[in-house]
Chain A
């Protein structure tokens, strides 16, 4: 294990120290360079088995983890099913015990319910990566976001970062609040009051129920996807009204610092939470987030797969 990161699993950002986060970010920087090589592959995790257990649909995150595993030469296997497979009689614990019998080294899990990654980690020998558990955490998203911010702003400490939208349903928001707070940023969350979970300030952020005051002087603006599939729809009248009062358009973006960057974890509802002109505009770093996602996930798989820091720095 690399010095600075001693966790056996990556279940969330809440419990990670600044040193641990920085270790992952630094390693992610080094892996980023592999994407530019003609042969985008290193032998680091050869012989290791990584299972992508995606019990909630997410093509993007799964693909990102798959590519990360392949670039490290690990054997990746996808296990995709509906979370409701319990209806057929198989519980998550059954699935875990079956996977454990196949002796994988790392299991990446995406699941519709909070706490599922923790539950899996209690029942299986492999290292667990939480790729999103309900509305709880999505740590690799927060890490890739931090990596993107750091690349553009050279530091994270002291920055003002605004997270806008459906905070209550968002694991991305929770992981980002925890991570950015630990890294010393001033985090603001903003959205209609019906999207702000009770006591969110206690997580280490300030809450705003309109986005204009939150955007003032911001270095980073992170828009969240309105999760219409999670019944977010009854928390606001309609998407047209949402866009009008809470969407990020050029006029609102002008309230932020002139060099503020715009982020979105994807997939976007264009014209709802984000104006297409802003999404594709010069301050958008949305596609860079995606490329950094692969590098960060390589770093995480590498650290949990038992790769040694020295070995990599020599290569």
Chain B
């Protein structure tokens, strides 16, 4: 593994409150030094001029669906992690709603092994809360953790039964495992295909109220008070949930949350054309929900941006809106959209790195998120000026279901390094 010297970039390491122009030396898979005017290393090393770029710790995505095992026609670990690398992510956490679901050690083992063989970036599996994600019996959380799972979630479904949720929070606490909850009261959402509001009334689409999310969150927060369990809310999407999380944090509860780029960038009005690439769960919300998300992302109520990258094939998407599968992909667009939020004043460059790297690392206690000397050499170099047009046909992902096709983008990853190895680089760096 050759040494890498990243020369002349703006180094952003908010975990150490570092924001200055400097050179970064990566050696033996670790961050070796960050200083101005580091000497050029030996001839086997790579020196890359990254002037004008931001150099930060590798981005971490807490919420992706890699679809392996079982749904490789949508995506697999190889294509999904290649998409992650191209999007600037050095690590992803993969959700357990595979086929079979990741509720046993054998499935986790398979994911870990496949990621080692084919993966471009680090893959941290998330196991199930309940067996088969059915919401009844707890999954073998201890064994899942031993096999490599970093958290448990029944993502795709909320845990409806309050007693099961209570016991899950308690049991997972013994293993210091966070519970990642998809908040949705399914009796209230009742299969609604978009957010219930003015837009759904106009479009005549069966809809689900924001309260389907916030009411389950409210219950869960009471269970966190009861159990002291570590709770992470997946894909927060509405103003009421923001209020609840903000209050819970003020009370000092062990609670965190993440938001998707699409909920930050789009509203329910985008469903006007019945385009199924705008259908996901939780759905796109109202403009006032979006404003609340922006505020919460800025003030730190929201800890992380996570894509909920959900690849689907045309079979699931080229159908009527209400019939289409939920979900959009996001690994190759998330960073540019976050840079757009920097332009809009919602984020600063340092906050962007916190919400996409240091924050997610902290949420699940993952390595990374900082460029401290001795830390793993997971680095993302971002060109905030790069102008490009989102062309889904050029994605590394096997899927094309993005709501951002054709959008004018600003900013992208130009170099992604994982453990000292370059896993993605822009054409401009011949490496």
Contact = CB atoms under 8 A, between A and B. Distances in A.
17 contacts: A86-B319, A91-B318, A91-B319, A93-B319, A113-B323, A114-B203, A114-B206, A115-B203, A115-B322, A116-B320, A118-B273, A119-B321, A135-B206, A136-B203, A198-B197, A199-B201, A200-B201
A207 B302 CA distance: 37
Interface residues of B, number: 19
B319 A134 contact: no
Query: 5 nearest interchain CB pairs?
Result: A115-B274, A136-B204, A199-B198, A135-B204, A197-B201
A71 interface: no
A115 B205 contact: yes
A133 B204 contact: yes
B196 interface: yes
A118 B201 CA distance: 17
A86 B316 CA distance: 11
A174 B206 CA distance: 14
A116 B193 CA distance: 14
Contacts of B202: 14, 174, 202-203
Interface centre among A114, A135, A197, A200 (most CB of B within 10 A): A114
Interface string B185-209: 0000000000011101111111001
A48 B204 CA distance: 32
Interface string B306-323: 000000000000111111
A199 B197 contact: yes
Interface centre among A113, A133, A135, A137 (most CB of B within 10 A): A113
A92 interface: yes
Interface of B: 196-198, 200-206, 209, 273-274, 318-323
A134 B202 CA distance: 12
A134 B319 CA distance: 14
A58 B396 CA distance: 46
A198 B320 contact: no
A171 interface: yes
Contacts of A202: 198, 201-202
Contact of B196 (A91, A135, A136, A198): A198
Interface in A87-137: 91-93, 111, 113-116, 118-119, 133-137
A191 to B, nearest CB: 14
A174 B204 contact: yes
A188 to B, nearest CB: 16
A198 B211 CA distance: 13
B405 to A, nearest CB: 15
B80 to A, nearest CB: 26
A115 B198 contact: no
B204 A114 contact: yes
A294 to B, nearest CB: 25
Interface string A54-75: 0000000000000000000000
A118 B322 CA distance: 13
Interface string A269-287: 0000000000000000000
Nearest to B319: A91
Given A118-B273, A118-B274, A135-B206, A113 B201 contact: no
Contacts of B203: 114-115, 136
B130 to A, nearest CB: 28
Nearest to B318: A93
A303 to B, nearest CB: 24
A113 B201 CA distance: 14
A6 to B, nearest CB: 21
Nearest to A118: B274
Nearest to B320: A113
B208 to A, nearest CB: 12
Nearest to B199: A199
A132 B416 CA distance: 51
Given A114-B206, A115-B321, A136-B205, 15 more contacts: A114-B203, A114-B204, A114-B205, A114-B274, A114-B322, A115-B203, A115-B274, A119-B274, A135-B204, A136-B203, A174-B202, A198-B209, A199-B198, A200-B201, A202-B201
